[in-house]
Amino acid sequence: MITVGLLGCGNIGRVIAAGQENFKITAVYDVVPARVEAFGKEFDAKPFSDFTAFLAEPTDIIVEAASVLAATEHAQEVLEAGKDIVIMSVGALADIEYRSRLIETARQLKRKIHIPSGAIMGLDNISIGQISRIDKFVLRTTKNPASLAREATERTQLFSGKAHDCVRQYPKNTNVAESLSIACGRDVDVELWMDPNEDRNMHEIFFEGEFGEAYIRVRNLPSPDNPATSYLAALSILTLLKNLDNPLVIGA
């Protein structure tokens, strides 16, 4: 049984906790004491509001399901504590220097940094861009204006450019772009649109190269109790955890 330390007791954390099967969340951390206490009691996990004490608890892997800020602040500590980490808030790795430092720490300590598929599909084959010529690599994300805290009466483009620039301008909409860029080994070209007629978060990937061409479209339903989070993103972490100890590895 794999033991998990959960960093973040929000909606994604609840989806993961509700899906425990061949893994057990034994420790949980959150900056809000009342929230972590309630979460720990509900899911029979030891609650912590002190991160050092949380890390000292014997767990096999830490799952970050909180925020880009939380991932940035704590991922290095997790690796240095001799534990693998799952990073949900992949936008934290947009800082190339920070990412390189994390990877080097993991390499030296023989630890793993896991990036779940998140709100999209196809990351496994997108990684062929690391070894093969890619001619076109575009992510087109379309959201309802309300999810972007904006108003619009017609379809409107908010951004067009490279992923690293999108990270700076729209930090809350970077996880998919950053996951794709890391997988491929090159910055994806990003288009961010808002459309009052779109009731879901939609991601379209256009991928062409010497292998041929691919088009992927994902229209995500919101996660239960949190319309700002994709349910697929939460499920992707759950799937990753369920397969950590599976000797049959698919798509990697």
- Asked if residue 243 belongs to a known ligand binding site, the reply is no
Token match 């994806």: residue?
A: 188
Q: Where does residue 82 fall: left (phi above 0), alpha (psi -120 to 50 degrees), or beta otherwise?
A: left
At residue 204, φ and ψ (nearest 5 deg) are: -115, 130
Provide the edge-to-edge strand list for the sheet that holds 84-87.
Answer: 46-48, 23-29, 2-7, 61-64, 84-87, 113-114
Q: Please give the positions annotated as active site.
A: 203
Token match 């729209």: residue?
A: 170
**Burial class of residue 21 (count of CB atoms within 10 Å of its CB; 0-12, 13-18, 19+):** exposed
Nearest partner of 155 among 167, 143, 146, judged by Cα: 143
| Local structure of residue 88 (DSSP, 8 states) | S
Label each residue of 94-112 as H, E or C.
HCHHHHHHHHHHHHHHCCC
Residue 151 CA to residue 195 CA, distance in Å, equals: 9
- The widest CA-to-CA distance across the chain, in whole angstroms, is 54
- Asked if residue 34 belongs to a known ligand binding site, the reply is no
Going by the annotation, the residues of the binding site are 119, 175
Known binding-site positions for NAD(+): 119, 175
